[in-house]
Structure 1
Amino acid sequence: MGRATTKNDLISAANSNFEKLTMLVNSMSEKELITPFDFSGDDKKKEAHWSRDKNLRDVLIHLYEWHQLLLNWVSTNMSGNERSFLPEPYNWKTYGAMNVGFVEKHQNTSLDKAKESLMQSYQAVMKLADTFSNEELFSKGTYKWVGGSTLGSYFVSTTASHYDWAIKKIKAHIKNCKGM
Structure 2
Amino acid sequence: MARPTSKDELLTLAEVRLNTLFTLIDSMSEEEQERTFTFEDRDRTIRDVLIHLHAWHNLLLEWVQKNLQGEPASFLPEPYNWRTYPEMNLRIQEAAQSIPLKQSKTLLRTSHQQTLELAKHFNEDELFVKGYFPWNRTATLASYFISSLSSHYDWAQKKVKRHKRSLR
Same fold (TM over 0.5): yes
SS in 1 for 2:167: helix
Question: Taking structure 2 as the reference length, what is the TM-score of the superposition?
Answer: 0.97
Q: TM-score, normalised by structure 1?
A: 0.91
**2:29 matched to 1:29?**
yes
RMSD: 0.9
Query: For each residue in 1:146-179, what CA deviation from the matched residue of structure 2 results, as whole angstroms up to 9, or x when unmatched?
Result: 011010000000000000110111001000011x
Contact 1:7 1:133 in 2 (8 A): yes
Answer yes or no: is the 8 Å Cα contact 1:35–1:177 preserved in 2.
no
Give how far 1:4 is off: 1.2
Q: How many residues align?
A: 168
Structure 1 gaps, min length 5 = 41-50
1:62 aligns with 2:52: yes
What is the CA deviation profile of residues 86-131 of structure 1, one whole-angstrom value per residue up to 9, with x for unaligned ones? 0001111110000000011111111111111111100000011011
Q: Percent identity between the aligned chains?
A: 46
* Equivalent position of 2:108 in the other structure: 118
Q: What is the Cα deviation at residue 25 of structure 1?
A: 1.5
CA distance in 2, matches of 1:25, 1:132: 31
Residue 161 in 1 paired to residue 151 in 2?
yes
Match of 2:133 among 132, 140, 143: 143
SS class of match (1:127): helix
* Counterpart in the other structure of 2:11: 11
Unaligned runs of 5+ in 2: none
Look up the equivalent residue of 1:141 and give its one-letter code. Answer: G
SS of the residue 1:112 aligns to: helix
